[in-house]
Amino acid sequence: MTTRLRSEQWWNEPGNPGMTALYLERFLNSGLTPGELQGGRAVIGIAQSASDLTPCNRVHLESVKRLCDGVRDAGGLPLVFPMHPIQESARRPTAALDRNLAYLGLVEILHGYPLDGVIFTTGCDKTTPAALMAAVTCNLPALIFNGGPMLNSYLDGEVAGAGTIIWEARRRLAAGEIDERRFMDLLAASAPSVGHCNVMGTALSMNCLAEALGMALPGTAQIPGPYRERGQAAHAAGKRIVAMVEEDLRPATILTRTALLNGIRVNTALGGSTNCPPHIIAVARHAGVDLDIRDWETFGHALPLLVDLQPAGAHLGEDFHRAGGLPTVMAELLRHGLLDGTPLTVSGKTVAENVAAAPLPDGRVIRTVPLPLREQAGFLVLSGNLFEAALLKTSVISADFRRRYLSEPGAEETFECRAVVFDSPEDYHARIDDATLAIDETTLLVIRGCGTLGFPGSGEVVNMLPPEALVRRGISELPTLGDGRQSGTAASPSILNASPEAFAGGGLARLRTGDRVRVDLGKRAVDALVPPAEWAARDTSAWDAVPPGATPWQQLYRDHVGQLHTGGCLDFACTFRDVCRTVPRHSH
């Protein structure tokens, strides 16, 4: 160690013994000694995301012990502190509100306390982007350690993937194929152990991308939560963060545009979540790296889908791990020139070095580039008179959906539908089975008022189920469009994340039930077929006033949040970088 540690400016300032004593004194009451605090050890903060409110992260109540062991074995001093809870399945109105709140809390803790490096424990969807955003804002040596997916889940021999089975169970219940007891049995069976969703939903997608970006140790993203390797990986992460402090290896060195573009490419190969673009764009903005929503198509669409995992495939997280996991996927992309192997990672090695010894694809769970699950499997970025940008996940376009909407001879990749418009999820649930709406196979279901301002936070509500009458006839999906999001566990090819939203002047505010909408995937266009003069003259005053916040945080959020296509960030916060380079003024 050639320079003084940041923590020593609290606990070991010979020129200011009065303040040193003040900062030191209360840390002794738990049994720590002056020798530990003043002995030149790297002080490592461990952001604990586990609590009884966060079951997807609860595995970290145990893994944090091994993280601390690793830190101590490497000569560091671990200090565990709480992270704002984020639980996707429980937080109302949406956990999307908590990503930016957790980010702010992490930044303040890392800036204001005597820490030299940090490990972020992650798991559930929004914990990972919150951690990455805080890491690059603070720019202390940092790494991500996630809790891993649950074990594979089954009911009576039937695969019941976490999250994904919810949407299928809802369909079966609506179709009358199961009763409420069987419905609850399916849902309970999908959560067999500690860990986050065992499908390629947002949790597994974002934790894989954290590793692909270089911010987690190689091979750790997909280790199931209960496996012994998870504890071993925690010990390795604890040791590695101390070395990173000694090497002065910081997130700004790792999270470059090249690394972020690697993340886009990997997301396609994984069949990753549509929630990843706003999260990764947010990380890029906080890093000061230029990354646009259209980069997701430019650099990701042409790549193949390699991982056969629900919701785009058939298997679950344990299968992915046993097949070689993320390193095998990245190595296969690298072999075919589809990934950049040069970026540096938290291991101290490059991407190429990290995956050099990865197993070859098994051809079943992880396919090869020449024989993929699907060609050209990335996101499309669409635009038109309804929005500036929206996403469509091509890897979940089913054969039935393609046959019904995208296969008309001479007009392939194009369809027109009559729109039925809902102003909120409550409106949708109240009216979806109203026969007077005349919803049929040629209907486009549209939901608005669900973006960052309107919901607030952006609700996972766009993957709307058709009316029960259609579901009972075997029509399980209709085209859907909205200014909200949908769960990464959903297999619906929705047009979503439409930005700007209705409450931000987006064209969805002008749309009316009965309008014809043309979707042309070839031209990347979605337009309401309304004469321009009539379109411009339509009254949108109902969408002028953003609803008031229900809490102080919701109001602050609405006052400062941007749109989904620019990351859903607190825009003012994106100008703050490397904030921990300067030590705050004394407190007394």
> Which tens digits make up the pLDDT trace of 297-346?
999 999 999 999 999 999 999 999 999 999 999 999 999 999 999 999 99
Q: How many separate domains does the chain show?
A: 1
Q: In this structure, what are the phi and psi dihedrals at residue 145, rounded to the nearest 5 degrees?
A: -130, 110
| Closest listed residue to residue 100, CA positions, set 454, 561, 578 | 561
pTM recorded for the entire structure: 0.97
| Closest listed residue to residue 197, CA positions, set 157, 148, 158, 234 | 148
Separation of first and last alpha carbons in the chain: 30
> In whole angstroms, what is the distance from residue 204 CA to residue 162 CA?
11
pLDDT at res. 1: 45
Q: In this structure, what are the phi and psi dihedrals at residue 379, rounded to the nearest 5 degrees?
A: -75, 145
Q: What radius of gyration do the chain's Cα atoms show?
A: 24
User: Could you tell me if 330 and 355 are in contact, meaning their C-beta atoms sit under 8 angstroms apart?
Assistant: yes
Whether a cis peptide bond, with omega within 30° of 0, leads into 278 is no
Does a structural domain hold residue 507? yes
Checking if the pLDDT of 2 tops 60, the result is no
Does a structural domain hold residue 387? yes
DSSP lists the bridge partners of residue 117 as 44
pLDDT at res. 376: 97
Does a structural domain hold residue 73? no
| Closest listed residue to residue 100, CA positions, set 125, 136, 126, 137 | 126
Checking if the pLDDT of 126 tops 70, the result is yes
Does a structural domain hold residue 580? no
- Give the range of the structural domain holding residue 472, as residue numbers without chain letter: 382-543
Is 588 buried (19+), middle (13-18) or exposed (0-12) by CB count in 10 A? exposed
Tell me what the mean pLDDT of segment 84-103 comes to: 96
At 25, the amino acid letter reads E
Does a structural domain hold residue 519? yes
Checking if the pLDDT of 572 tops 70, the result is yes
At 132, the amino acid letter reads L
pLDDT at res. 489: 83
At 278, the amino acid letter reads P
Does a structural domain hold residue 375? no
pLDDT band at residue 226, thresholds of 50, 70 and 90? very high
At 397, the amino acid letter reads I
User: Could you tell me if 581 and 139 are in contact, meaning their C-beta atoms sit under 8 angstroms apart?
Assistant: yes
Helix count (H) and strand count (E) of the chain? 22, 14
How high does pLDDT run on average in the chain? 96
The Cβ-side half-sphere exposure at 471, using a 13 Å CA radius, reads 19
| Closest listed residue to residue 419, CA positions, set 469, 475, 463, 482 | 482
Does a structural domain hold residue 88? no
Does a structural domain hold residue 584? no
CATH of the domain at 478: 3.50.30.80
Q: Where are the alpha helices (DSSP H) in 473-570?
A: 532-537, 552-560
Tell me what the mean pLDDT of segment 160-182 comes to: 85
The Cβ-side half-sphere exposure at 75, using a 13 Å CA radius, reads 11
Checking if the pLDDT of 182 tops 90, the result is no
| Closest listed residue to residue 166, CA positions, set 153, 149, 157 | 153
What percent of the chain shows pLDDT beyond 90?
92
pLDDT digits (tens, 9 = 90+) for 362-419: 999 999 999 999 999 999 999 999 999 999 999 999 999 999 999 999 999 999 999 9
DSSP label of 171: H
What percent of the chain shows pLDDT beyond 70?
100
> In whole angstroms, what is the distance from residue 509 CA to residue 63 CA?
47
DSSP lists the bridge partners of residue 496 as 391
> In whole angstroms, what is the distance from residue 149 CA to residue 221 CA?
9
> In whole angstroms, what is the distance from residue 521 CA to residue 531 CA?
22
User: Could you tell me if 256 and 129 are in contact, meaning their C-beta atoms sit under 8 angstroms apart?
Assistant: no
Checking if the pLDDT of 137 tops 60, the result is yes
Q: Where are the alpha helices (DSSP H) in 164-227?
A: 164-175, 180-189, 202-212
pLDDT digits (tens, 9 = 90+) for 469-517: 999 999 989 999 999 999 988 888 999 999 999 999 999 999 999 999 9
